[in-house]
Structure 1
Amino acid sequence: MESTRGASFAAEVKRFRTIRSLSKAALARRLSVDPSYVSHLEGGRERGSSQLARRLDTVLDAGGAVWRAWQDEPSATSPRSEKPDSPAAALLVLEDDAALTFDGTTYHLRMRRWLHNTGTEPVTRYLARIAVDRHPGEPERSNELYRSRPLTFDELQLTAHCGDEPMTWTVKHDRDAFKEVWLEFANARTRFPLYPGQETEITYTYSVSEALWGRWFQRAVRLPTRELSVSLTFPAALQPTVWGTESSLTATFAPLRTPAERTEQGELAVFTWTTLDPPLHTRFRLEWNLRTDTPEESEPVPTPSTLMTQAGIVQEGDPLLASTAQPFDLPSEAEEAHTVVRKLKEGIARVRALHTFGKGMGLAAPQINIGRAAAVVVPPDAGAEPIILLNPTIAEASAELDRQYEGCLSYFDVRGLVPRPLSVVIAHTDLDGTPRLTRFDHGLARLVLHEVDHLHGVLYRDRMDPDTEPITVDEYRGTGENWTYS
Structure 2
Amino acid sequence: MGDRSSIEPFSATLKHFRTIRGFSAAALARRLGIDPSYISHLEAGRERGSSDLIRRMDRELEAAGALWNAWKDDDGEPLPAETPEETPASTGVLVLEDEACLTYADGTYHLRMRRLLRNVGSEPVTRYLVRIAVDRYPGEPERSNALYRARPLTWDELRLEAHCGKEAMGWTVKHDRDAFKEIWLTFANDQARFPLYPDQEAEITYTYTVSGDKWGPWFQRAVRVPTSELSVTLAFPTALDPTVWGTETSLTADFAPLRTQPVRTIDGDQTIFSWSTREPQLHARYRLEWRLKTLHTAESESETVNAIPPSAAMAGAGIVQEGDPLLHTTARRFDLPSEADEATRVVGELLDAIERVRQLHTFGKGMGIAACQIGIDRAAAVVIPPNPGAEPIVLLNPAIAETAAESDEQYEGCLSYFDVRGLVPRPLSVVVAHTDLDGTPRLTRYEQGLARLVLHEVDHLHGTLYRDRMLPGTDPIPVEEYRGTGRTWNYR
TM-score grouping bracket, smaller chain normalisation: 0.3 to 0.5
TM-score by length of 1: 0.45
TM norm structure 2: 0.45
